[in-house]
Amino acid sequence: MNPRTKAEFFLFSITFIWGSTFVISKYLLGYFTPLVYIGIRFSIAALLFSLIFFRQIKTLSKGAAIKGGILGALLFTGFAAQTIGLQYTSASKSAFITGMLVVFTPICQLIIERRPPKVGNIIGVVLVIIGLYLLTSPAGSEFNVGDALSLLCAFMFGLYIVYLDVFSKDHDTAQLTFMQFVATAVLGFAGAGLFERVAVQVGTEPLLALAYLIVFATVIALYIQTRYQKDTTPTRSAIIFSIEPVIAAGFAYVALGEIIGILGVIGGGFIVAGLLVSELSPA
């Protein structure tokens, strides 16, 4: 198996973990306020990660600390927008809108790396806009603040994917991952102290759900992304992640009984089609 195929297999595998996080995060918002939830999740992840990769982290370089901090700030902004948005929208809608990162990624590449978008990217944007309208149309479920925050999340994650591609080629994976966790945790707790009336309810089920997110969706998934994304391209990574909304919608239907309606299904189909066209069409 060549390096790119191996990398894309691992990236594809973590989309199934991330597809489940929308439902679990929405559930946990009944026990934690959004920013303190992010702070707790990423601080424990940083602690666990430091125990596993102590040897690499103890020689943390200045460059990895700075670049990891930048990635952590992008990650925090995306997660904060997504988590707060989940208070106002459904898990399935949040997932489909977050999937627009596949369209935002080439736009970010154009701005950062001066790579112009392909014709397929432009067609993809049009399809996604149509899909977004159908998914959030007044006849179904109107566009709300939660959807807007999910859209911001998609942009931040697109930006994150491009900068991760730039930074990960020059720095140790463990060091870069650890600093992302630390920066996200610090910003989460700082934001909670400044903007939230902090609320935490402890129970067996929420703690188990949180443990799942910490171990699988944070420590394992983000390490895999940081380790393997550099062996493929940002756009190919983004198209792999486009399956995540479909997985999330399935989880939302089974776990929460969320039904997005016929227009929502059609809209979701347009969004997925737009994501696929955006990255798979020839120039």
State pLDDT tens for residues 154-165: 999 999 999 999
- Residue spans of alpha helices (H) in 196-260: 204-212, 221-228, 234-241, 244-256
Most confident of 87-96, 130-139, 153-162, 261-270: 153-162
All structural domains of the chain with their residue ranges: 3-280
Number of other CB atoms surrounding residue 273 within 10 Å: 17
Which residues on neighbouring strands pair with residue 200, listed in sequence order?
32
pLDDT of 207 strictly over 70: yes
Instruction: Please name which of 22, 25, 48, 6 lies closest in space to residue 177, comparing C-alpha atoms.
Output: 48
Per the CB < 8 A criterion, the answer to whether 177 and 223 are in contact is yes
Residue 111's pLDDT is: 86
Share the mean pLDDT of the chain: 89
CA atoms within 13 A of residue 211's CA, in its CB half-sphere: 7
**50 vs 136 pLDDT, higher one:** 50
Among the listed ranges 34-38, 95-99, 262-266, which one has the minimum average pLDDT value? 262-266
Per the CB < 8 A criterion, the answer to whether 219 and 49 are in contact is yes
Does the predicted model carry a pTM greater than 0.75? yes
